[in-house]
Structure 1
Amino acid sequence: MSDMPERWSQASVYPDMWADPDQDPRTMDGVSPDGELATLQDYLKNYRLTLRLKCEGLDPEQLARRSVPPSTMSLLGLVRHLAEVERDWRNWVLPDDPAPKLYGARDADFEGAVAEQALVDAAYADLAREQAATDAVLADYPELGTRVGRDGIAVRELWIHRIEEYARHCGHADLLRERIDGRVGQ
């Protein structure tokens, strides 16, 4: 007998998907957004939502459950990590007034992800706050070719890097969630 959960999905139309298309909140009604900035914003919104979906319905112990030794990665760690990197991206734009680290040095975002409801609630609040703050800073730069910060990074690069970061970690979240309870999906 294995302690590994059986694979499952809530989807019935496409059983390898997270949810059926008519139940998936990421499914777009109509055509894709017009323009580069709107497209980037839409992709980021959907990856952010994907991370939340992958964590949905889990208790603090499940959210804090580590992948495999020696990794410290967990779904809760990913939430905390993405809050930290949202803050870091803001520091690239506004390098003269850097915000301090949220969780401490190095891998504290993952190492400090423990199974406590207050810590889970704080992590989600941190993520929402940091996302909103970074979105607000970047809203001041609608021209994607604008160079910002000490290193003159193009705003476009910040948007792409944010999408890449969420996409990569949503892939990790897929595997972590499947290991926790067997739920699979796109």
Structure 2
Amino acid sequence: MSDQPARWSQATVYPDMWLDPDDDPRDSDSVSPDGELATLQDFLKNYRITLRMKCEGLNPEQLARRSVPPSTLSLLGLLRHLAETERDWLNWISDGEPLPKLYGDPDGDFDGAVAEQAEVDAAYEALAREQAATDAALAEHPDLGVRLGKDGIAVRELMVHRIEEYARHCGHADLLRERIDGRVGQ
């Protein structure tokens, strides 16, 4: 007998996938976008959707469940971390005073990820709010070569960094979700 859940998937066509292609909310069957900016935005959108998919259907205890000691990594922590990271990115491209940290300490995003519905709701709200704020600020600068903020970061560099961050954490989310309930990802 094992404490580990059995591997499973909702997919019926390809049993190693998260769900059937026809049920996938990511727009992967259409023609790819034209242009570099639209392509970057499309990849970012799909990774954001993927992260949410990995968290769907879980209760607060499952979302807050840590990976393996001594790590504080959890799906809820990832939601909080990415909200904090979006805020940091907004600070990078701002000329004004930086916005304060959402979760205080450098590890507050993970350490404070506790199994309470109010905390889960707040994490989703913070992530949506911070994504929208960063997206809105970047929408004012469609030229990917423009350099912003005190350090002169190029819009292109920030967009690629955002995609990299979400992609890396979607990999973590795959492993966390499989450990929680055995569901495997695509």
The TM-score range, normalised by the shorter chain, is over 0.9
Distance apart, 1:95 and its partner CA: 4.0
- Counterparts of 1:33-182 in structure 2, within 5 Å, are 33-182=33-182
State the distance in 1 between where 2:97 and 2:42 align: 29
Q: Deviations over 1:157-182 (max 9, x none)?
A: 00000000000000000000000000
1:87–1:134 CA contact under 8 A, matched in 2: yes
Distance apart, 1:30 and its partner CA: 2.1
Q: Deviations over 1:127-183 (max 9, x none)?
A: 000000000000011000001111111100000000000000000000000000000
The match for 2:17 is 17
- Count of residues in Structure 1 that have an aligned counterpart in Structure 2: 186
1:21–1:27 CA contact under 8 A, matched in 2: no
Runs of 5+ unmatched residues, structure 1: none
1:28 aligns with 2:28: yes
Distance apart, 1:14 and its partner CA: 1.1
Moved over 6 A (4+): none
Identical counterparts, % of pairs: 80
Q: CA RMSD in A?
A: 0.7
Distance apart, 1:96 and its partner CA: 2.1
State the distance in 2 between where 1:102 and 1:151 align: 22
Q: For residue 11 of structure 1, what is the amino acid of its counterpart?
A: A
TM-score, normalization: structure 1?
A: 0.98
Q: For residue 180 of structure 1, what is the amino acid of its counterpart?
A: I
TM-score, normalization: structure 2?
A: 0.98
State the distance in 1 between where 2:119 and 2:67 align: 19
Q: For residue 84 of structure 1, what is the amino acid of its counterpart?
A: E
State the distance in 2 between where 1:174 and 1:34 align: 30
